[in-house]
Each structure stands twice: as C-alpha cells, then as structure tokens.
Structure 1
Amino acid sequence: MIRRTGQRRLAAEWWLVALLSSALALLLVHDRTTQGLDALLYDVLLQFDRHDPDPRILIVAIDDHSTRETGAWPWSRQVQAELLGKLGEADPVAVAYDVLLVDPKAGDMALGRAMAGPAPVFVPLLMRAPGTNGAPFDIIPPVPAVREAAAGMGHVNLLPDSDGKVRRTQLIAGDERGRWPHLMVLMQRAADPSADLPEEGQRPLLIPFAGSAGHFPTIGASSVLRGEVPAELLRDRLVLVGATAEGLGDRYATGGGNPGGILPGIEVQAHLLDGLLSDRMIAEASLWSRVLLALVPLWVLLAALRVLQPWALVALIAGLAVLLLAAAAAALLGFRLWLTPVPGLAALAVVYPLWGWRRLAAANSYMIEELERFRAEPDVLAPAGPLPSAPDPVSRQMALLNDAIGQSRNLRRFVTESLRQLPDGVFIADRSGAIVLANAEAEALAEELGLAPDERDLPALYARFQPVPAAEGRLEPEGSDLPPWPAPEEPGRYRARSASGRSFEIRVAPRWSASGELLGWVVRTTDITTLSEALRQREDMLEFLSHDMRSPQTSILALLADIGGQQVDPQIVGRIESHARRTIALAEGFVQLARAESLPYQPEPVNVADMLVDALDQLWPRITAKDLNVELTGEDATLFVAGERSLLTRAVVNLIENAVYHSPPGARLRCSIDVIEEQGDPMVTCTIADEGPGIAPDHLAVLFERFRQAPGKGQGNGVGLGLAQVHTVAARHGGWVRCESRVGAGSTFVLGLPLLSEPEEYPDEGEAPASSR
C-alpha cells in the first residue's frame, strides 16, 4: 500500500513535468522566443557550407575609386547611360542595374535607349514602408523612360532579423495592387528561361551566404567607362551593377556564412543570385516539423525519467542534444531546410532539473508523510516521546527522521536480544562463512565442539559435526546428512551428530540483499537427541508389537489347531482363539497406524482405480465367504494421485474390510471412483457403500478416533484402529475421509484425494454399466 502511494505520487509529478515541459516547447516553437539563439546556431552551421561562386556572376561596382574618378554619386543620367551602353556592347547574358531611378532627371531618354540595347537590363522598383493613407507600403516604379525600356522590374527588399542582420528575403512581394518578383529572380530566369517563378505566398527563403566581402569577382564602373575592361570578360556573364562606395548607405549586416560581416547591397544580391542559380536557397521548416523536432526527443527523455538512473539520464540528454544538432545540420546542409533545434534543446535543458525538483519535492513530501505515519503507529517496545519544537519544515523532517532512527535502533536491539534468548543455536555468517553473530545457545555449542575464538566460521563448524550412522539414519527426523562446506545457495534441512553423541537438526538458509546479492547464511541448530531417543523407543515398541507380541498369539492358535479331537471344551477353545486373534489384530492395528503416521515416503503417481482393484483382490476370499454382490463403477478411469501406494492401498482395504464386516450375507457392496470439485480444486473420490446396520449420529463425530467403534453386529471383536489409520493416511496426503450413515440404512464412506492429472473421459455413474465380481 505504501509503495503504491509513492508510485501514484511520482506518476502525478511526472505528468505535471511532462505537461509543463511540453507546453514550454510549444511556446518556444510558436512565438520564436529563441530566435536569437536560432540565428546564432544557423550562422555557425552555415559556415560549413562555403563553396565557390557561380562563375557567371560579375559585379560592376560603383566603388570609391569610381566616385573619385567619375565624380560624386549620383552620376548624371548620361554617364549611367554610357555605362550601360559599354556593358551592352560586351554581350552579357543580362544586367541587373541595382540603382533606384524614381526621380525624373535630364537624360532619362538617353538612359532608356541604353537600357533597350542588346542585353536585357532589369531595374528595381521602390517599395517604401510605411505607405501613405494607412497603406503598408507605397510602390514607386522607375521613371517612365526607364520603366518602358527595361526588360523587367523587381523588388530588392531584404528582411532583417530581430538582431538587425540580413539572412532572408521574399522572392515574391506585393499585395492586391500587384506582385513583383525579386530582381535576382529575373536574373535567374534570364540565365535559365526554364526556371519556374516562385509561387505566391511562398515563405521567405534564407540566403546561403557563402563567404565574406569580395567573394565574387568585381570590377570598377570607372574601368568600364574608360573601356579598360575586355569584352571577353563581360560576355555571357550575369552582370550586377550597384554601389559599394563608402557613405552611400547601401550596406547590411549579414549572418550565415558571413557572421558579423558588413556587405554592400549588391554583394547581398550576388549571394542571393548564386543561391538561386545553384539551387542552394534554404527554406524554413513548417510549424509542424518544428513541433515534432521539439517534442519527440522531449518525450523520449520523459519516458526515460521513470526507468533510467541519473547518470544514464545525463548521458541520454547529451545524446539527444547531439542528435538534435546533427539533425539540424543534416537538414540544413543536405536538404537545404532550416529546422531549428533550439526549442528542443531548451526543453531538454529544462525538463531534467524540473523533474529533479518535482521528484525531490514528491520524495520529501512522501517521506514526511511516512515518518508521520510511522511515528503514529503504536510502539510497544519504546513509546515515542514528544518531538522537539521545529521552527521550519526541514527541522521537523530532521526531528521525525531522528525519531524513526531511534525506534529502528530499539527494534534492532530487541531483535538481537530475542535472538540471543532463543532455545536453538543460531549462527549468522557472511558470504565467506565467517560468523558475525551467534546467540547464547550457539556460543555454548561452539565451545562444546571445541571451536577456538579464531575458528568461529561455518567451515570449521561443519567440520566438527559427524554424519549419522546409516543404521540409525532412518530413526532421525526427515533430512539428509550435513554436506561439506561450502553450503549450497538454497535452503536446506540436514542432520548431524556431535562427538559427544548429541543429535542435531541443522537448517541452513542463504541471506539475500534486496538486489538479489548473496550476503551470507543463517544456520539454526536444534538439539533433537531426546526426539531421536523417543523415535528409537517407538521403533522398539513397534518391533515388540509386530514380533514379540504376535508370535505368542500365533503359537497359541497353532496349539489350538493341533488339539483336534482331544477332550477339550469347545467353548473354552473358541474363547482362547477369539482372544488370541484380537491380540494379533490389536498389534497389527498399532503397526499400521504407526506406519501411517511416521513412514517417510517420496510421493509417486498412483492410479486410484488400480488401488481399488488391488484392495478388492486382497479381501475377495472374505467377500466370497459372505456371498456379497460387489458393484464396481469407474474401474477403467485413469485418475492419478500423488502418494505412497502401500499406505493408500491399506486405507482402502480398511474401508472395504469395515464394509464387509458389517454387511449381512448376500448384501450388495458398492465401490465407485469419481471426480468432484472441492473449493475449486479437483478431487478423486473412492466411495465404499454397504447395507449394514448403519451408525447412530452421536457416533459419527468420533468414528475416526482411535479405539472408537460404532455399535453393531460383532461389536467387541474389532480394535477401533482401522478407520483411524484411514483418517491419518488421508490427512498426510492432503485429502479427507467422510461417512454418511443412518441407522438401518447402511453406511457410505468416501475417501477424497487431490487429483494429480486430468481424468480420462468415462460415463457418468448413472450411465456406466455396473460390473459384479
């Protein structure tokens, strides 16, 4: 009951911890509380994804050298038109002109004509947030001349994270007023017209930054204007034109493969284009995927909390953390999927101390309750006194524990003192056989056996005992001779003698710890010298009854038979013969009863039907002499009981002999075998029914006692030991014997024995044909 209470309390605490930690994991996944740690881990893992840039990408930078040589930015539209014209003449695949051209200026028409050259030119539009009149943003396209001449327009928006770093972008942006692809998506389609446009509503993608500033090949815009750049360098290239000069404002703090670095906007676009061309863009996992990644390892740990030891739990947590990190790295680097493990790691980090706290609280509460209950239980050995005042729960707990320890010490002292006062010798030894505790009787026996103080161990004790002589072994109580040391690791019952001739029954039992480890042995020695002597005297008495008492009576009967026709009063001869036969029957009854009470035997399977037939065969001459009609039912059944065959057969003989004795000549004697249920257990019954005078109710209660006879025909010729022998045999075999009788209606005796095996099928008693013998 106490254990179940503690288990229920721990189970309730476990469910509380499981629900709280699961709720925490879901919260971390849903509201992105760990976004900063997510980004940090993402940046670390992406550094293992460095690769060479796509060789088609070329940056034409409006750098510091170009602004010093050509003039401060912004350049006139004529200069920008000249730059685009120079680029177009070199036949690139496409040009992304990452310059906002939203304000009308002189030279717009010339710039438009330059954009309409042989190479497609893509320009950005401005999405300014917040917009006017409550709109989330305003869409500002380039000036008309540029808008009409450009091969396409796209947005160049980047999405900074909460730490201010740029890691992601939206490939399609806009609202109901219109949707525009990213400028780099247009460049991707120019390089690969078969590439699909992103789907509307697609989640933002992470940019696979593959290096720091200068990762992509770059030439200055002034060099292009001066014609210093060979056309072969620009031919079949994806040219990105943008500002990199200091002070132009187009710079971003980036994460990923360039943690903590500052990149110009045109280089950010180059990394984005490289990711699109190499199909290395990184998608964020769905909500359900992140939930599963957080909850599955958490519940694995929760399940282990109930079965693993603390050191194993620490190893499991470390293993789960490594698996989470490995899964995130494999998803990121192998499948281009960012599946953040941080919520799962945070849940693992929280659940173990949370469980430790709740388990400690539950154990503390349980211990206080049990100590209170232990103190409240009556202690007749040492009644509990008042507890000292406790200002806080910890002090009260210490006081209760101290009180419980005191009671346990008193109990241990009581057990020790009781052990010392036992009438039998008790030795308690460790696993090596060294005696660690012995009571007064054991100490006296050790001195009698001549054990020196430095020899107090079980091997020396065993060596001092002597085996019982074979001729006398049968007179000792059940048990085998004491085996040599070491003792077997199972309980045993042995017999031995000391050098002085004293007989002992020795019981040896191993001591086991709660974990199943052998701690030692308990050896109890009982002096059975008096019992052995009594058994010897009993054997002598049985020998006297069996031989010395029966032999004279047999001689008397022989002499009476030899008298023959001599002149002797027949009445006197009859009386002498009756007394002699009664004396022989009395001796035989004593011997049979003594064998039934004390004969040692090993149980063996005995077929009850064979036993009944054997008993009938032994008494068949007397049955025939009375001309009795025997009806036998169930003699073909195979019903086994465990027992000693001779004792059981003799018991059945006694029952049949009793029925024959009380049956009138020519009467019917019914014998049957059946199977019944007795308190849920199958019992084999052997029923003997006669048609004798019956037994009065007041004699039925004492019928199976010694020297008890029911009144009836021939009373005075029996000795009253036959039914007592039947009762003794039945009891020794775990069975019973019962009698049902009415005066003038005969008697029915039923012997019941436990069934050893399932009976074979045979007809019911009412359907079976009765056989006569």
Structure 2
Amino acid sequence: MLGALRLRLLLEWFAIFIMASFVVVAASYWRGASAFDNLFYDQLSAFGRPSADTEILMVTIDEHSLAEIGKWPWPRDIHARAVQTIQQGKPRSILFDILLSEDGDPAGDAALAAAFSAGSPAYLPLHFSTPGNEGRAYDTIPPAPNFAKTVDGIGHVNVEFDGDGIVRRGMLCCDPEDNGRRWPHITELVYRTSGKAMSPAYRRNGNCNQSVLIPYSKRGAFSEVAYADILNGSVPADLIQGRDVIIGATATGLGDNYPVPFGDGGMLSGSEIMANMLGALRRDDFIRPLGTTKSLLLSFLPVWILLIGFLRWRPRVALIASVFLVAVILIGSATALRFNWWFPPGAALLGILFAYPLWGWRRLQAMSDFMASELGDLESEGGMVPIPRTEAATNDLVGRQSTALAGAIDHLRDLRRFVSDTLEHLPDPMFVTDNDGVVTLANDLIEATLERPIVGMELNDLLDDIVVPHERASVSHYLAKRKNYADDPVDPKSEIEFVRFSSKLDRNFVMRTAAIVSDAGEQSGQIHYLADITELSRAQSDREEALQLLSHDMRAPQSAIISLLGDVRNERISKRIEHHARRTMQLAQDFVQIARMGEAEFSGTDILLVDLVRDMADSLWPLARERNIQIEVQDDCDDGFVFAEADTLTRAITNLLDNAIKHSPDGGKIIVTVSRLTDDSNPMLEVTIKDSGSGIDENLLPQLFGRFVTGREGKTRAKGLGLGLAFVKAVADRHGGTVTAKNAEDGGALFQLTLPEAVEPVED
C-alpha cells in the first residue's frame, strides 16, 4: 500500500511539474503577469532615479507661451526668430521636436531653414503614418524638402506604450518596414554631434526594433525656459551656450504628453521624454530587458528547485523554501535592476504560487485517501489487544481521519507496550538486531546476565562476550545460514533450526534466530532467542552416563556370570541362570538402542524388503528347527524396496520373528508375507507375520508395544517382560510406518509392519 502511495504521489508530482512549467511559459510569452511586473518595476524605479543631465536645456511651448504668442500653430517666421535667438547663444545642438512635414508660407519656411543652418547643428523629427499606402504597414513622412536639406539630421521620435498604456520604453533605432532604412532615434543623432561615434547603447542594440527601458529622472528636473521668454530676449545667452537645446510642446492641449511610470500618475511631455533618453545615452545607463530565453530559464529555475524539493522536504521545510524562493526572486529582480538589467519576476512567482498550493492539495488528498485505506485495513485486521476508543465528534473529513489516526496510534502504542512487557517477562535472554547487525532491542534478562546494556552493540562483539571461543565458529556458521535463509528461503527441514553453545558464564544455551519481515515482505532485522538449557544439558549428561552403565557396566557382570556357569554342576539351574543373564543383557541392549535411536540422525539406504525378511528367517532357522517349527516366506510385493536403516530394521524384524517362534507350539508353522498395499494414496509395503500359537491376551493388546508390558499367565501368552516390541514400534515410527498386532480368526497372533515404499524420483 505504501508503494502505491509513493507511485501516486510521483505521478501527481510529474503532472504538477508539467503544468507549472506550462504556466511559466504562458505567463512569459503571453505576459500573463505583466501587470504585476510593471507595478513592481515602477515601484523599484522610483528609488535612485538618475540626476538630470545639466547640459540639456528644454525650451517649452507651454500655456504661458500660448497666452503670449497666440493660438497654435504659430507662423514659421516666429519659429525662425526663436531658432535665430537660440543660435546666437551658441548651443551645442538644437533638437526641434515639432513636425515640419508640410510646406508653409515660403518666406517663413525660408527664414526657418536659414535659422537651422546658421550655427549649431539642428535636428528634425520624422513621423510614420499607419497604415501606409499600397499595402504597406507604414508610410515614412520626413520633414519638408527645404528643411530636410538644411538640418544636420533627421530621426524618429516614436514612443512605445506598454500594455497598460505607460511609456517605459524607447527604441534607439526604428525599421518600420523590416530590413528597410534604419532610422536612429533623434537623441542618438544629437549624441553624435561634433563628430562623435554612435553611442555604446546603440552599438549594443543588434536588433533595430528592440526597445530599452528609460531610466527617468525626477519630473521637472531638467532646466527649461518658456518659448515666449526666448522670443522676448529675457533668456541670457550663458544659459544656452554649450547646451543641447530641445524645443518641444508641453502645454496640455497640444497632445504631446504621455503617461510615464511615476508614482504621482502625471503626464510627461515628449520633449522631456527625449531629454531623459539623451541623458541615458550619455550616461549609458539604459535598462536592458533580459532576452526571452534567459528570462524563461530564470523563471523556470526557482519553480523546478521547489518541485524537486517537494520530493525530499517535509511540509514545513517546503513552506519555508517557498517563501525563501519568492524573496529570492523579488530581491534578485531588484538587484538586477540596480545593474541596469530587468528580469520580470511575475512568471516565476506565478509558477511558485501555482505549484505550492496545488502540490499541497494533492498531497493532502493522497494522504487522506491513504489514511482512510490504512485505517480501514487496520480496523478489519483487528488487534492483538483490542482497546475501545471514544472518537471525537467532528464534521470535517480530515478532522475525523486525524481523530481516527490518533486513536490508531494510541492503540499501536499500547500494543508496543504490550509487546515490550511480554519481551521483558520472557524467561530467557532475547535481543533484536537490525540489518546491519546492531542490537536495537534487548530484554532486561540478557543485560542483567552481562551486567551492562547491550543496545547499540555489534552482534559479533556481543557474541564474543557470550560464547566460549571454541564454539564461536559454529554460532557464526548458524547465523550465516539463517541470514541466507531469510534472503533465499529453501526447505525449512533442510536448514539448521538452532545452534547449541556454552557461554563464558558456565551456562548452556540454544540459540534460535528468525527474520523480522514487514507486511510488504522486506526484512528489517532479526530476533535472537537464547533458551537456557543448562539443567537439560546436565540431565542429558546424567542420561548418557546411565546408558553407559547399562551398555557396559551392567553387561560386563552378566557376561562374567555366563562364563562361570561351566563350573555349575546342576544343568537345570545353570540353564536358568544363563537364561536370566542373557535376558538381562538383552534388556540393557534394547533400552540403550531405543534411547540412542531418538538422538541419532536418520541415515537410510534402499533395501529390498523381501530379501531382508528371508535373511532374518534364515538366521533364526536353527532356533525354529530345535522345536520343528516351519517358517514360510511369501513375496507378494514384486520386489519392493524401502528406504530404511539396515541395522534397526533388521533388529525389528528379528524381534517379531523371534517372538513368533517363542509363542508357537512345537511343530507349528509361521507364515511371513511381504505385500504391497494398493488402497492407500502413498505406496506402502507391509510385512505380515502370523504364528500358530494360542494368540494374544485381549487385555494386553492395547499396550502391547509399550515398555516392560506384562500379561497374566494363561493359555494365551506367557507373562512378558521386555523391550522387544517397544523397539519394533520405535523403528516403525522412525521410518514413517506403523506396526499393529491382533489375533487371527483361525488362531495365532498376527503382526503387521507397514513401511513407506522407496519410489524413484521423477526426472524433470
């Protein structure tokens, strides 16, 4: 489930990445954030406005001049007188910002043309008519020919409006017909007065129609005089000498005023806009917008950083990073503006403002769905320790889920406490390691045994402190096997389930290790349980000593008794003593074999069962011949094999045949049949031994295969005392078979030993 949540969040992250990138592209190309960009630019440009160029003098056609001279337009001889007066003051240049595209009064035109050429360089504007004739986009309308011949240059005076109608930009060069004649701005021509080369700003402007942002000086910062004052001679010549004079209309009614990015919201005359452009040309401080490609990449960068961070950061870090990136964008844009570069921050901000809430919403929705699913699964699974919870009433989905989650967490805390208490009260040492072999949890018993805390210890160091040196390798081998089993499980029966070792504290332990596997199948560590078997080991040692006593120390005196019977003259007493001595030796031998059979590992081989039965019958033939008893072996199994231990199975069949001989009358017959059972899903072979005796006491049948079973004397069986049949039962169980006994219908006892048939494996 957690993997599905990760996949869902990753897919939704990728979708948000694509959408946020598209928002940035759309805002950059379609100026979706231009209103904010313009507002931010206007506010920033109000700080640190450049000083006005003191070498520029504005001659303004203002309301005062209109009142003194009369209605506009004025006769050109008036302009001629004003230009002549200015020429007498020896200015550096004259920029006459009044369109003279049509011829007027010949005498006035001649006087004005003469005034333009009388002294300092003079420059006139041209304008463009839209739409042009014959399908052209523009018609270029220069000054009348008699003026064009006398002035030093003609340039364009177009202003560029932004989308909000504000004049923030200007073009240093205009090519309205694309690849036609390039018209420099009239202020660029003024800059080149007195033989100067083109301005650095113009030189950098590779695209003729590319605009630059104008760094405006404060309103009214340029020196200016009224046009009427020039005509009446009240302006001293020193005020004009060496300056660039810009003559233009500033009166409101003349229509040459434009909105500019000033906080007061007022208008600025076209001549003052040109004064600002000329000052910027001289200072070379035009603000250059970054290209579209650079602006787009810089707008992508913070959005992509934030989106990539979403994959790693926690919600609080993501929020802090979002605020930080917004501040970086705004501060970066303001800093770039101080170095005369303009980066519009709106697209980047819009991308962040789009990505952050959308990602937060999708992540909240995904987590809400995940919590609902997990809480439902947890509730359906039930708990180890069910704890009733009272949920707070709320109408909000997230609130209800949060309450349910809090209840589930409390429940898990209780379960953790329950598990912790359980581990603490285990009767044996226990500890847990992670995948790196570091102890992460331990109960008090093992720490009390070692007399120090072990959490944080390496597993190898801990085992070095516990295990005696000569058994340390076997413990490491066991742990390596268990680790491989956790990585690549095989048949558990073929694996080492535990390891025994002695500790340095003179204690014996059985160590069992199991992998800790999550619900998703991932291993997170291992549990190590140390069962203290010190007392059991001592009992086992005592048992082994008892077996040694039975197998050697008790048999030796019995053998000595038998060897001394030759000196006993009473033959009847000698035979009875020998019989009981040999029976005592047989009891000791059977007991030892039964006890050790349970400890030894099964080591079998394929045996032809009927041949084994025949061999045992032949070995007992001398005993049967003494009493004229016939043993008949019948093969009905078609030479079936069993996977068996030859020694123990031989002894078991011998015990059954010997028992049949003992309880058959003289001259009797024993029938041994080896057959295959066909009514079982698993192939089995059965050895049936039927004697011709008086049968088995019905009261003895239920416990016939127990140890030291006794029966009453009678016509059926004599009183028995021994382990022969108990040994047969142990052999049958060890081979995965069964042994039963009953009385035959026609008399005699019937024993049935059933064993699994050895089947050859089917090749793939």
TM-score normalised over the length of structure 2: 0.57
User: Does the 8 A contact of 1:131 with 1:137 survive in 2?
Assistant: yes
User: Counterpart amino acid of 1:275?
Assistant: A
- Alignment-derived partner of residue 305 in structure 1: 310
Q: 2:332 aligns with which of 313, 327, 332?
A: 327
Q: Which residue in the other structure is 1:35 paired with?
A: 34
Give the length in aligned residue pairs.
547
Q: Which runs of 5+ in 2 are unaligned?
A: 386-393, 428-442, 467-499, 501-507, 520-526, 568-581, 604-638, 654-726, 735-764
Whole-Å separation in 2 of the counterparts to 1:398 and 1:307: 24
Question: After the TM superposition, which of the residue ranges 69-78 and 238-247 deviates more from structure 2?
Answer: 69-78
Is 1:239 aligned to residue 245 of structure 2? yes
* Equivalence map 1:714-725=2 (5 Å): none
Residue 724 (structure 2) aligns with: none
Mapping of residues 10-49 of structure 1, within 5 Å: 10-49=9-48
C-alpha distance in 1, partners of 2:367/2:288? Answer: 47
Aligned 8 A contact 1:252 1:264 in 2? yes
Give the Cα separation in 2 of the matches to 1:483 and 1:580: 50
Partner residue of 2:343 out of 339, 361, 377: 339
Matched, 1:89 2:88: yes
Q: Which residue of 2 aligns with 1:761?
A: none
Distance 1:77 1:705, change over 3 A: farther
The whole-number CA distance in structure 1 between the counterparts of 2:51 and 2:399 is 73
**Counterparts of 1:480 and 1:487 in 2: how far apart (Å)?**
6
| Within-5 A mapping of 1:171-186 | 171-173=172-174, 174-175=176-177, 178-186=181-189
Task: Say if 1:325 and 1:396 are closer, same or farther in 2 by CA, change over 3 A.
Answer: closer
1:695-746 CA-partner distances (Å, limit 9, x unpaired)? xx988833399787899xxxxxxxx9xxx9xx9xxxxxxxxxxxxxxxxxxx
- State whether structure 2 residue 449 is matched by structure 1 residue 482: yes
Q: 1:354 to 1:401 in 2, by over 3 A?
A: closer
Q: Aligned-pair distance for 1:28?
A: 1.1
Contact 1:13-1:362 at 8 Å conserved across structures: no
Match of 1:154 in 2: 155
Distance, in Å, in 1 between the alignment partners of 2:12 and 2:647 is 64
- The 3-state SS of whatever aligns with 1:149 is coil
- Using the TM superposition, give the Cα deviation of residue 359 of structure 1 relative to its aligned residue in structure 2, in angstroms: 2.8
CA distance in 2, matches of 1:235, 1:4: 83
SS of 1:272's equivalent? helix
Asked whether 1:57 is paired with 2:56, we answer yes
Matching residue within 682, 692, 702 for 2:644: 702
Q: 1:587 to 1:397 in 2, by over 3 A?
A: same
Name the aligned partner's letter for residue 24 of structure 1: V
* CA displacement, residues 213-245 of structure 1 (integer Å, 9 cap, x when unaligned): 112222333443344444443333222122223
Q: CA deviation at 1:138?
A: 3.8
- Asked if 1:110 corresponds to 2:87, the answer is no
Please give the secondary structure, in 2, of the residue aligned with 1:482: helix
- 1:168 and 1:34 map into 2 onto residues whose CA distance is 18
Matches within 5 A, 1:151-300: 151-173=152-174, 174-175=176-177, 178-190=181-193, 192-195=196-199, 201-255=207-261, 260-300=265-305
**Identity in percent:** 27
Q: Distance in 1 between matches of 2:447 and 2:85?
A: 116
Deviations 1:502-560 (A, max 9, x none): x9999999x9999xxxxxxx99999x8xx765543332222344579646778999999
| 1:4-63 Cα deviation digits (max 9, x unpaired) | 222222222222222222222211111112211111111122233422233332222233
Judge conservation of contact 2:299–2:347 (CA < 8 Å) in 1: yes
* Residues 94-139 of structure 1: per-residue CA shift (max 9 Å, x gap): 2111112234333110000000122110011232334566654443
The amino acid of 1:482's aligned partner reads T
Partner of 1:77: 76
Please identify, of 55-64 and 159-168, the stretch whose mean Cα deviation from structure 2 is larger. Answer: 55-64
1: CA distance, partners of 2:307 / 2:337: 27
Matches within 5 A, 1:453-472: none
Q: Secondary structure at the residue paired with 2:128?
A: strand
> Given the alignment of the two structures, is residue 357 of structure 1 paired with residue 361 of structure 2, yes or no?
yes
Matching residue's letter, 2:173: I
CA offsets per residue over residues 294-341 of structure 1, 9 Å max, x none? 22222222212222111111111112212222332333322x332211
CA contact (8 A) 1:120 1:150 kept: yes
Structure 1 portions without partners, runs of 5+: 383-393, 420-425, 446-460, 466-478, 496-502, 515-521, 567-577, 598-650, 653-696, 712-719, 728-773
Q: In structure 2, do the counterparts of structure 1 residues 194 and 379 end up closer, same or farther at CA, with 3 Å as the change threshold? A: closer
Q: Secondary structure at the match of 2:284?
A: coil
Counterpart-to-counterpart distance in 2, 1:27 and 1:557: 110
Given that 1:205 and 1:281 are in contact with CA atoms closer than 8 Å, whether structure 2 keeps it comes out as no
Letter in 2 for 1:329: A
Distance 1:533 1:204, change over 3 A: closer
Contact 2:85 2:231 in 1 (8 A): yes
Is residue 167–residue 207 contact of structure 1 (8 Å, CA) maintained in 2?
yes
Report the alpha carbon displacement of residue 204 of structure 1 after superposing the two structures with TM.
Answer: 3.4
- CA distance, structure 2, for counterparts of residue 222 and residue 399 of structure 1: 79
Q: SS where residue 193 of structure 2 aligns?
A: helix
Q: Name the CA shift for 1:219/1:307 in 2 (closer, same or farther; >3 Å).
A: same
Letter of the 1:537 partner, please give it: A
Q: How does 1:220-619 map to 2 (within 5 A)?
A: 220-255=226-261, 260-334=265-339, 336-366=340-370, 428=418, 482-484=449-451, 488=455, 534-546=536-548, 550=552
| Matched-pair contact (CA < 8 Å) for 2:103–2:109 | yes
Counterpart residue identity of residue 324, structure 1: I
The TM-score, its normalising length taken from structure 1, stands at 0.56
Residues 428, 523 of structure 1: 8 Å contact kept: no
Distance of 2:584 and 2:419 partners within structure 1: 60
Which moves more between the two structures, 176-185 or 316-325?
Answer: 176-185
Q: Partners of 2:287 and 2:408 in 1: how far apart?
A: 67
> In structure 1, how many angstroms separate the alpha carbons of the residues matched to 2:222 and 2:171?
22
**Counterpart Cα distance in 2 of 1:118 and 1:93:** 9
2:550·2:588 contact (CA, 8 Å) conserved in 1? Answer: no
Letter in 2 for 1:85: Q
Distance 1:404 1:249 in 2: 72
User: Matched residues in 1 for 2:35 and 2:594: separation?
Assistant: 100
Compared with structure 1, are the counterparts of its residues 189 and 706 closer, same or farther at alpha carbon in structure 2 (3 Å cutoff)?
A: farther
